[in-house]
Amino acid sequence: MAEQIIKTEFSEVMQKSFIDYSMSVITARALPDARDGLKPVQRRVLYAMDQLGLNYDKPHRKSARIVGDTMGKYHPHGDSSIYETLVVLEQDFKKGMALVDGHGNFGSIEGDGAAAMRYTEAKLKKFTQDVYLKDLDKNVVDFVPNFDETEKEPEVLPVRVPNLLINGAEGIAVGMTTNIPTHNLAEVCDAVCAYMDNENITTEGLMQYVIGPDFPTGGLVVNKKDLLSIYESGTGKIKLRGKVEFEPGAKRTDKDKLVITEIPYTMIGANISKFISDVVDLIETKKTSDIVDISNESSKEGIRIVLELKKNADVEKLKNLLYKKTKLEDTFGVNMLAIVDNRPETLGLKAIIKHHVDFQYDIATRKYTTLLNKERENKEIKEGLIRACNIIDLIIEILRGSKNLKQAKECLINGDVSDIKFRSEASRKAAMKLDFTPRQATAVLELRLYKLIGLEIEALQKEYEETLNKIAEYEDVLNNRSTMKKVIKKDIQKIKKEYQVPRKTIIEDGKEAVYEEVKLVEQEVVFIMDRFGYAKTVDNNTFERNKEAIFNENKYVFKCMNTEKICIFTDKGDLHQVKVADIPFGRFRDKGTPIDNLGNYDSRGENIIYLCSTGQIIERKLLFATKMGMIKLVDGKEFDVTKRTVAATKLNDGDEVINVLPTDAVVSVDSQGQEIISSEEHLVIKTEGGYYLKFAISEIPQKKKGAVGVRGIKLVSGDSVSDLYLFNKESEIVVGYGKKQISLKDDINLTKRDGRGVKK
């Protein structure tokens, strides 16, 4: 067969492939189904545990076995994601209703990771079996082939409560995310019943039952007024606060305490330690002096973070400070996105409940159809057995006269009496009239003799009547929507009664936390940093009294305003900024604080090239030069940024900044729109190999801080730039190179940028 080459547009292939990939991630990985509220990996873990027989009343089984079965049969996407899912399903501080009962270390609310899957064990909770996995054997959901078509798995689980609300969901797909808060089981069950009673009920009506989210960590929702809008649109922001209690000292010597007993849901994990760190920062930066100590006394019994207070501390002011400056008050971004009919859709509260109720009607229809068919089969069999008991003598005669089972069965079904010996002609004629169904005939042939005892026959008659009653009941459920509604509501109310838990989260319209920082009185100070990197500021009077010692003992000394920032340019091309107000202010002989601690960078990996205040560079042009000879001018205004760390320049691989110098260059634009650089300054570039190149600053173009720049000097192989000298063209500057003394004004000729220079 000749090879056929199919030509196609590359962009079309990429577009189709990306769309296919995106939809796969959206529908088969990241987003939950609106019907059962589960993502595929969660559904598969629970189903695998069900198939392993890990019932609540059975022993726990190793998590590795559960993960292995799930990955091998249903979810071929790696064991780490499966085990992480299993861990989260067990964590009652993340889920409204935990679905897995775990033994061993399954992590903690403070962000500790779970032990390896070979150490932990798990099984299903009773709640999960009763509410999520019940009736799977009654054809209530469709089963689809697994990834290699060797097994079957449920398309969704027959979950009987709106899991999307009760346990919430979070997931990041391609171009979209979902973030649904958890809710109280009892409230959601009541809302479902209210919707079933009145499908025209409004979202506001449903919120008479679901008053708001109920997070497993408790805390407070303080923007109750916004919840109606959030539940109608499916998107919005919920403002959360931790629960803070004031504990006065029991004795005179005991300190008063502020105790955080509940945290915002968003603080779970590493954010608890971040909160403690932020409180320490508030103390160190003197935002508050009311806290004298902080300790984390949390345990299995619950959260307890204790702030010891100084005497007569302003508690309300301190609470507001914590709400404003730490994660004790945070926002939960709601985006109730789920898969509906294989498409992502943002759902409001009513829409979620509607989809759930529709799913429950579908489950109930399929369940009672299966039960009805089964009872109809029982009815058919029992009618056959009752009839057989009434003519048992004839049946025995047929069995004794038949040569094999097939012959006897044909006689019972079709009245075929050929080759069967009868005692009398009357028996033959009676046998010819038999018309049992195949199912009845099989049951008659399997009938045990003890069933012919009088009491057994009465029991058979009673069972037949019970079957007739069940058939009537099931037909009533299937034929009358009102009856089916009662059955579903009864089921939901039973679940509520057995598994409801008290609400943990308080819903209210809290007062806005108001904290006014004491305004900084603007004044001029002197920044001082020694050669070891310890920095401080002093006032002008202190500086004037100790001027000589200050200059002799320190590397950087300059005046600045206490409202400015200190700019730290490093050889890695980064700019770190420190507020002058955050630098210790005091006496000349105070030690100060390491500048790398204040600047939040690692001094072991970066070296300071230039250090100044924002006021010194904001109206000037900065000259950047690198080891490989790249140079450029950058407008100082580009470094007036809010971030503490930004890239000050772009570097080629292996390059580093060797100097940053402020210049007097002025940039103007001519009539053609071209930039003109004006300056009376000259620049001399010196290399390790002894080359010197002098040219005018006006030859250096102005670039953005994100640019590499232009070449300043052509370096010979193995050479690199070692020094820069920037000076007014009339200035006399002499530098040493080895034993030589070189005048930059007279000994180096003025040339053009990007030359090789002269060797001295």
Beta strands in 134-221 (DSSP E): 143-145, 152-154, 169-172, 177-180, 220-221
Q: Report the run of H or E that residue 625 belongs to, with start and end.
A: strand 621-626
Q: Give the closest residue to 193 by CA, choosing from 204, 201, 182, 183.
A: 201
Which residue blocks in 185-332 are alpha helix, DSSP H?
Answer: 185-197, 203-206, 227-233, 270-284, 315-325
Question: How far apart are alpha carbons 417 and 433 in whole angstroms?
Answer: 10
C-alpha distances in Å from residue 503, one per residue of 204, 302, 492: 20, 16, 18
Pairing between β-strand 506-507 and β-strand 220-221 as defined by DSSP bridges: parallel
Question: How far apart are alpha carbons 706 and 704 in whole angstroms?
Answer: 5
Question: How far apart are alpha carbons 456 and 385 in whole angstroms?
Answer: 11
What DSSP assignment string belongs to 572-584?
Answer: TSEEEEEEGGGS-
Which residue blocks in 252-348 are alpha helix, DSSP H?
Answer: 270-284, 315-325
Q: How many residues does the chain have?
A: 760
Q: Give the closest residue to 340 by CA, choosing from 322, 364, 358.
A: 358
With contact defined as beta carbons under 8 Å apart, do 533 and 581 qualify?
A: no
Residue listed under structure tokens 């770190």:
576
Residue listed under structure tokens 């919120």:
207
Structure token digits, residue 325: 């400056």
C-alpha distances in Å from residue 460, one per residue of 385, 448, 454, 463, 480: 8, 13, 10, 5, 30
Residue listed under structure tokens 């099931």:
474
Which residue blocks in 521-629 are alpha helix, DSSP H?
Answer: 540-545, 547-553, 595-599, 614-617
CB within 8 Å of 665: residues ≥ 6 apart: 621, 633, 677, 678, 679, 681, 697, 698, 700, 702
With contact defined as beta carbons under 8 Å apart, do 228 and 249 qualify?
A: no
Structure token digits, residue 375: 């009872």
Pairing between β-strand 657-663 and β-strand 608-613 as defined by DSSP bridges: unpaired
Structure token digits, residue 724: 């820069």
Q: Report the run of H or E that residue 366 belongs to, with start and end.
A: helix 349-390
Catalytic residue (one of 119, 265, 323, 601) = 119
With contact defined as beta carbons under 8 Å apart, do 420 and 431 qualify?
A: yes
- Bridge partners of 662, per DSSP, are 622
Residue 119 annotated to the active site: yes
Structure token digits, residue 628: 């490989």
With contact defined as beta carbons under 8 Å apart, do 147 and 74 qualify?
A: yes
Which residues have a catalytic role annotated? 119
